[in-house]
Amino acid sequence: MPLKYSIRENMAPGNSILEKFRNLADIGMEGIEITTSSCAAHAGEIRKASAETGVTPNILSIRGSMGLLDARLEERKRAAQDLKDALTLCGDLGGVGVIFPPLIAIKLQHGRRIPDLSPFATTAHLESRLLTEILKHEIGPHAQACGCSVIIEPLNRYEQWWPCTLADALEICNAVDSPGVTLMADFFHMSIEESNMAEAIRSCGKRITNVHLADSNRVLPGYGHTDFAPALQALNDIGYEYFSGFECAIPPGSDPKAELRKSMDYLDDLR
């Protein structure tokens, strides 16, 4: 099954939304992950660019708080609303979902972590229970109603405490058990945290609804030492049908369109 390629908005060559969509269509890229333009004010422009080019806005981003697990109730409420707003926009634009790394805002953006309440409960236990409850009763149903999902992203241990592996994210999805809550496989983070990337992918199967592509040095695939072939085969084995998005650096001073097409060809040749 051929990969459907996507790219983060900030990486796409072009000075406007329409120009970015046109450039991606020129090189045969089918999707774009909307980041800085992920708000209702840009919805009409995105919809028009997609209709003209056939490029899908497959991922929308949260523009606001990501502190869904912050110790402060008011911050959690604000984060929940910001996430639901992003999911609403995603559904309106025909996207797959909204990426959500549960603890990045707490670890890297000066959030306030839930305190350890041992022996009653540890911080990790409280975070897991809280996330499950919010996703099951509030976020998951909203995402399902919008026709998309909140996509749990495991990150390496230096960016969030948990989830770090696909198994961690799968545990969340299984606990919630809703089509509105899925997970993603990011090859860069997996290269740090997974002992076997291919087996991690196979273990998650249809729960995976997004993939991020980057080599070991977080440059375009083909510029580092990651062995992509086994993981790409695993995607084929699970019948993966969603987008695989570039989230990495393009070599400076190069022609972005040429480099992106080169990396797409490199990955295609490995399948």
Q: Which residues are catalytic?
A: 153, 247
Conformational region of residue 23, where left means phi above 0, alpha means psi within -120 to 50, and beta covers everything else: alpha
Whether the CB-CB separation of 197 and 139 falls below 8 Å is answered with no
Q: Which two tokens stand for residue 4?
A: 């459907």
Whole-number Å distance between alpha carbons of 173 and 250: 33
Tokens 């196979």 — which residue? 202
Closest CA to 111 of 59, 76, 144, 84: 76
